[in-house]
Structure 1
Amino acid sequence: MAIDALTAQRLQAMHEEGFVLLRGVLNGRQINELHSAIDALQPQHWDYTGLVDHYKCVFNRDPLWLPYLDVPGVIELAEACLGADCHVIGQTAWRCHPGFIGGDLHQDYQVMELPESLLADPAFRMPMQICTAHLFLDRIDAELAPTCVIPGSHRAGRPPAEGERDWRGRTAQPVLCEAGDVLFFRSDLWHAGSRNRTTDRIRYLLQVHYDRRMVAQKFSPYLSWRFDPDVIAAATPRQRRLLGDHEPAEYD
C-alpha cells in the first residue's frame, strides 16, 4: 500500500517511539460539535458516570459520530500501521471531571511477550495489532489529566510490573497539546492516565481503537449487539469496512 511522505514519517515514529502526536487534526466546528454531542449522551449498557463519564460504542448512536472513525490524517496512519483492511473495535467518549484519578502505567494489549534483546535489534520490528487514537477536545496542560507515555517502551516486550515506574531509565512523559490534536499510539506502549487537578475544567476526549482485520471486533453488549440501521445507511464504504463490512477472507 503506497503512503504519502507525512504518513511514512508518522509510521516510522510508531515503530521507533510507539506513538505520534498529530497536530491540528480537528477544526473548531468539529470540536464544538463533539463537545455538544458528548454532553447529550445518556448511559447505556456498560456505560458509567461519575468522576469520569464513559460512553462506549458511540458510533452506533447517531450518524454524527461516523466521520470521526476515519478522520483525514488519522485513518491513513491507522491503515499504514494495521493494513488497508483494518477495522475498529471501539469508539468511546469521555468526560473526566475535577478529581478524576487517572490510571497506573500499563499496556492496553501485548500480543506476545518477547525477549527485550530481540526487540532492541533495529533489524526487528514487532508488527502492530491494535492502535488507539485520542482525539483531544480541550487544551491539555499539566493540570488537565494529560495522557502520559514512555517513548520506546513498546520494545520492552512485556507489560510493566506492579509498581514499575520507568523503562530503561525513561519515565512517563505527559502529552501536552491543543484542542483538535490527536495522540496515536500502539497498544503495547507503556502509558498512563493522570489526575484532573483543576477545580473547574472537564477533559473531553473521543477515543477510537483500530485493529487488524483478523483481530475480532468486540462491541458491547456482545450477544445482544445490533447495528442501528440509520447509522449503517449513512456510512460511507470505508466507514462500513471499519464497522466490519469486509470482503470474504480465510476464516469467514
Structure 2
Amino acid sequence: MNISEKIKAGRENKGWTQAELAAKSRVSLDSIKRYESKKNSNITIENLIKIADALGVDLNFFRSDEFVTKLLLSPVTKSQKVVTKLSLSQQNPVSQSKNSIQTLNDDIVSIPFYEDIQASAGRGAYNEAETSRVMTFGKDFLREYFGLISFKDLSIIRSIGDSMYPTLPQDCYVLVQKKAVKESEICVTRIDDELYIKRLQKQPTIRLLSDNMAYQPIDLEGKNFEIIGCIVGYFKKTAL
C-alpha cells in the first residue's frame, strides 16, 4: 500500500470518518480527503506526524519508497539554533524530561520532536520554545534510511535557511544525535543563545563552514560555544 491507502486503512481500522480523523489529528478535513484520494496530496511531514499520532501508529507504518528521507552518507555543514535544554553540557538533560528518548521495545525507539525549535542553516535564529511531542520509529527504519547503529540521544528539530544548500534543503527537519563530532561532519553548535548547523573544521583552527559559498566561515575561537551533536539525517517537509 502507498501512504494514501495506509492513511485510509488506519482510519477505517479505528472506525472513524474522515471528519473524525481530521478533528483528532488537527489536520484539515480538506487535507485528509486530498491525502486519501491521492489527488495532489503533497502531504507534509508535520501532517503525517499528526495523523500517525492520532491513529496511534509508528511513523514507520507509512514507510514506502514515496516517503522522502535522505541518508547523509558524506559529512555536511549546517548552522542551527537549539535551546540550551538540548545542550550536552547539562547532565542527562533529555533523560530528566518527560519527552526523553525511550526504547519502547527491542524494535521501536521514541524520539522527541521539537517542532517549535528552529535551527538556522543561515545567519542564526532564535526560538525559546522547549516543548516537544514524541515520535516513534522502528529501528529497522532508522538503520536503513539513516545508517544508525546507536539509537541513544536522538532528537528532531527544524532547520531553516540555505547556508547548507544543496547538501540540506532550505526547510527540513533534521535528526540530531548527541555525540562527539568528527572533522568535516555536520553538527549543531550553540553560540551564546543561538543554534547553528554547519560543517565542523578543527584544523588549523576550529570554525564552522557552510556548503553554500555565499556564507562566510564562523570562527569559534574566543566565543561562548558548545558543539551539541551530529546531524545524522533529515526529513524533507514534503513526504509524498
TM-score of the two chains, using structure 1 as the length reference: 0.24
Higher relative contact order (CA 8 A, sep 6+): 1
